[in-house]
């Protein structure tokens, strides 16, 4: 009888934890929405947490985000070390824009970097991922591991299915990404599991000036996409148009 009561108590504890988890998930989303809802044009940058300061991609991410920040773009990352730190560092040291870190507690690797102007902590990967995607008009992906690949294909899927604005994802590191690009091009398209047009969602480059120019083009495309979808009455769209207009002037 004691064993039965113990088992029932264990089941009840699980049910209570499940119920409280709903509130924790809601808390994650509320924090993200409240902190990020008034952001102007922003770019999310993904990449490995394991790249140290001597890594060429770390240096390139710092330089690129400094250039993007100088052009008025906010930078959003996962808030950790490696490429994320490099991106926040470039934006932070440039100044004049937001350097945002959306962090999550992990046993290893994920410690908040010191180059953020806004830092938000999350309990759940999926809630954090929503925020990383929702408040950016494009995504720049540096070499990384499983988490980076997960974020890459999540963004591609959302664009492919038109759940988010169909612009492009920028892959930095031709040598690193070329084998994957060729697999997508020569195997996935050949098998018919994706369309040939889906390849147009990827922009591959190592030229920082070219990337910055492409970002400018993608912002205009993003604004046009919102207008075509009838989402041109909100404050976010107005801020994009004002930003684009000021850039032209």
pTM confidence score: 0.87
**Separation in Å, CA 132 to CA 43, 96, 193, 225, 233:** 9, 21, 27, 20, 23
Distance CA(172)–CA(76), nearest Å, equals: 16
**Which CATH number is 131's domain given?**
3.40.50.450
Q: State residue 32's pLDDT score.
A: 80
Give the number of domains in the chain: 1
Residue 9 lies in a domain: no
Residue 215 lies in a domain: yes
Q: State residue 58's pLDDT score.
A: 98
Domain that holds residue 51: 30-248
* Maximum Cα interatomic distance, the chain, rounded to a whole number of Å: 79
Residue 2 lies in a domain: no
Distance CA(121)–CA(109), nearest Å, equals: 15
Residue 13 lies in a domain: no
- Exposed, middle or buried, 65 (CB in 10 Å: 0-12/13-18/19+)? buried
Q: Which among 174, 177, 179 is positioned nearest to 208, based on CA atoms?
A: 174
**What tokens appear for 104 in the block?**
């999550």
Residue 5 lies in a domain: no
Residue 163 lies in a domain: yes
- Tens place of pLDDT for every residue, the chain, 249 residues? 444 455 554 444 445 566 677 778 888 888 888 888 888 899 999 999 999 999 999 999 999 999 999 999 999 999 999 999 999 999 999 998 999 999 886 655 567 899 999 998 888 888 888 899 988 999 999 999 999 999 999 999 999 999 998 899 999 999 999 999 999 999 999 999 999 999 999 999 999 999 999 999 999 999 999 888 888 777 788 888 888 988 766
Residue 20 lies in a domain: no
Residue 200 lies in a domain: yes
**What tokens appear for 149 in the block?**
């690949």
């Amino acid at each position: 009888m004691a064993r039965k009561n113990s088992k029932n108590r264990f089941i009840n504890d699980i049910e209570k934890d499940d119920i409280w988890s709903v509130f924790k998930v809601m808390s994650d989303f509320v924090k993200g929405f409240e902190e990020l809802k008034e952001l102007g044009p922003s770019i999310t940058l993904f990449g490995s947490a394991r790249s140290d300061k001597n890594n060429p991609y770390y240096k390139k991410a710092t330089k690129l985000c400094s250039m993007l920040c100088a052009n008025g773009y906010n930078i959003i990352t996962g808030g950790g070390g490696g490429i994320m730190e490099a991106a926040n560092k470039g934006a932070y040291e440039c100044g004049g824009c937001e350097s945002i870190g959306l962090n999550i507690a992990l046993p290893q690797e994920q410690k908040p970097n010191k180059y953020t102007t806004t830092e938000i902590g999350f309990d759940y990967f999926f809630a954090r991922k929503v925020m990383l995607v929702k408040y950016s008009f494009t995504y720049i992906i540096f070499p990384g591991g499983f988490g980076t690949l997960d974020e890459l294909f999540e963004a591609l899927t959302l664009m492919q299915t038109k759940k988010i604005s169909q612009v492009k994802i920028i892959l930095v590191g031709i040598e690193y990404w070329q084998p994957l690009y060729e697999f997508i091009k020569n195997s996935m398209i050949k098998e018919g599991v994706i369309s040939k047009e889906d390849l147009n969602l990827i922009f591959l480059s190592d030229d920082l000036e070219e990337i910055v120019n492409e970002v400018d083009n993608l912002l205009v495309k993003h604004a046009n996409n919102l207008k075509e979808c009838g989402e041109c009455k909100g404050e976010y769209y107005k801020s994009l148009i004002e930003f684009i207009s000021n850039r032209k002037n």
